[in-house]
Amino acid sequence: MLDTLIRGATVFDGLGGAPQRADVGVRGGHIAAIGRLSEAAARIVDADGLSLMPGIVDLHTHFDAQVTWDPTLSPSGALGVTTAVMGNCGFGLAPCPAPLRDTMLKNLSVVEGMNLDSLMRGVQWEFETFPEYMAQLRRIGPHLNVAVFAGHSVIRTAVMGEAASEQVEPSAAQLEAMREQVRVALRAGAIGFASSFSPNHSGYGGRPMPSTIATEHELRTLAAVLGEEERGVFMMATGSRATPDVMESIAADTSRPAFISTVLTMYNEAKPGLGLSYYERAAQALARGHELYILTSCQPLSFDFTLCDPYVLLSYPAFDRLKAASAEQFEAIYRDPAFRARFRSDLQTPKAGTLFLGNWRHIEVGETARPENRRFEGLTLAELASQRGQDPVDAWFDLALADGLQTHFIGKFFQNVDEGVAPLVRHPAGVITLSDAGAHLGYMCDAGFGLHFLAHWVRERGAFDWPSGIQRLTSEPADRFRIPERGRLQVGAPADMLLFDPGRVGVSAAFTQCDLPGGAPRKVREPLGVHGVWVNGTQVHDGRSHVALERGPGAVLDRFN
């Protein structure tokens, strides 16, 4: 007898094969049969008119803290993800000696945009070592399959304490202790080693995150453990220091796959050819037999902000007045014609590194505070200005003032022009992922990247047919990260499945939900056109809500190809 029978679905295998209309039988957490099935089942799901695909594999998440209080790993499970890799960029929780717990959480709160009070209230500390963290995950029973990186900043902090963010050169003993921690983590089932040289990665109080001050020699010495152990992948938030040449040489030295994550690989109107140049250099490395890939975002990198905290605009000189002002003075400044004139002038010559370059199509009106303003939600500032017959600067600030400065705006500053992004999402050196799920919760939620990809790049844009588009989200990322069996619907494979309506599948706009520990807010999204998500044969979401389970069915992945 089958545990579950999904009847009459259009089945995609996740490997790029042609779809087939078939029944899918599940038994013991695995796919038992695919075809015309007559065997009895404890539960039958009528999937007529729907499509069934493998669950989405998300290689870039930061659920390391959240999983200790929320085994559902929301909202990713609702958004079709069945496998999540944590600890990216070298930021996580393990190993962490007990006296350093506050230090670790304070750094994590800043670098990954997490509410510190929620972290302090929520994280369940039942571990100090990496093996103990993996054991805790197994006790928790996550709803999704999870894998964890050994993290450079975490290990540096565990070994060097507070000096990790100050002392560039570790002692020989400290460096050897770090190497041993990488080795311990790999042997305990870490998926690989992750680090960051990004100058944007700052910790608590403006201090640099530990790995960002490390030398290239230290990075190479730690990454070398991957080659010595003959296991694991190398992931790096590269910044400008860890160039593609450096990353390729580490891949060559270790004989392990290497993955670049940086905003420099994203389409940027100010430097339209820069991102693609990274992909081309990765492709050249692949041609030389060295596995080097780019972790690719398939959606605009979005920043949610209000004019109470206009952090995306602070590089403009006009906003210097706000830096020295109290919050009570903001409204008067925004009303001042001289301030608005200065901002218009600044927009003509934006500084290098500025996020908003003056393209009014790239900022949308998000959630508004007052009912009379809700009709503006979803409009770009260009559309708002046209509708109101105003200059965009005046339309923007007048709406915010009419909403008590509580209007949320969504800035889409990278990956924001389809014609520039299409070559990146189609590039063979790219791997579709980069959700940052679990992080930056106050101003973004990109956990639904896979549903967005299906809606936008497959159905609407036609950049992929359904079989190849689904492959880009499932077996391909699993294979690149050496995760066995996942991302495919085959007899004998784990039954990680997403049932959806191809005509409706997508993701909602982000909205605020106050459900973090202590009642802190976060941005979340809801699925569209999703009819069910299964992990190892157990349904975890029905398209509307999480399924109540005594224990999640997710596996703590610790063996990789």
The crossing angle, in degrees rounded to 10, of helices 392-402 and 381-388 is 90
Backbone angles phi, psi at 546, to 5 degrees: -70, 145
CA-nearest of 390, 521, 529, 380 to 450 is 529
Per-residue pLDDT of 27-57, as tens digits, reads 999 999 999 999 999 999 999 999 999 999 9
* 311 occurs within a structural domain: yes
Q: Has residue 223 got a pLDDT over 90?
A: yes
Backbone angles phi, psi at 362, to 5 degrees: -100, 5
Across the range 387-410, mean pLDDT stands at 95
Look at residue 33 in the predicted model and tell me its pLDDT. 98
* 447 occurs within a structural domain: no
Place of tokens 């599940």: 26
Q: How many domains does the chain have?
A: 1
How far apart CA 468 and CA 472 sit, in angstroms, is 6
How far apart CA 357 and CA 189 sit, in angstroms, is 44
Report the DSSP beta bridge partners of residue 84.
58, 146
Per-residue pLDDT of 459-492, as tens digits, reads 999 999 999 999 999 999 999 999 999 999 999 9
Look at residue 413 in the predicted model and tell me its pLDDT. 87
Across the range 533-558, mean pLDDT stands at 97
Residue 444 pLDDT grade (very low, low, confident, very high; cuts 50, 70, 90): confident
Residue 206 pLDDT grade (very low, low, confident, very high; cuts 50, 70, 90): confident
79-83, 214-218, 372-376, 466-470: which has the minimum mean pLDDT? 372-376
Domain span at residue 308 reads 303-412
* 331 occurs within a structural domain: yes
CB neighbours (10 Å) of residue 383?
17
Look at residue 353 in the predicted model and tell me its pLDDT. 64
Are 284 and 274 in contact by the 8 Å Cβ rule? The answer is no
How far apart CA 436 and CA 441 sit, in angstroms, is 9
CB neighbours (10 Å) of residue 49?
12
Q: Has residue 110 got a pLDDT over 80?
A: yes
Across the range 516-538, mean pLDDT stands at 97
Look at residue 182 in the predicted model and tell me its pLDDT. 98
* DSSP code of residue 453: I
67: tokens are: 């999983």
Instruction: Give the pairing of strands 41-46 and 2-11.
Output: parallel
Regarding pTM above 0.95, the answer is no
* 2 occurs within a structural domain: no
CA distances from 380 to 227, 365, 397, 416 (A): 49, 6, 14, 13
* 335 occurs within a structural domain: yes
Q: Has residue 354 got a pLDDT over 80?
A: no
Are 150 and 198 in contact by the 8 Å Cβ rule? The answer is no
Mean pLDDT of the chain: 95
* 78 occurs within a structural domain: no
* 406 occurs within a structural domain: yes
Are 235 and 89 in contact by the 8 Å Cβ rule? The answer is yes
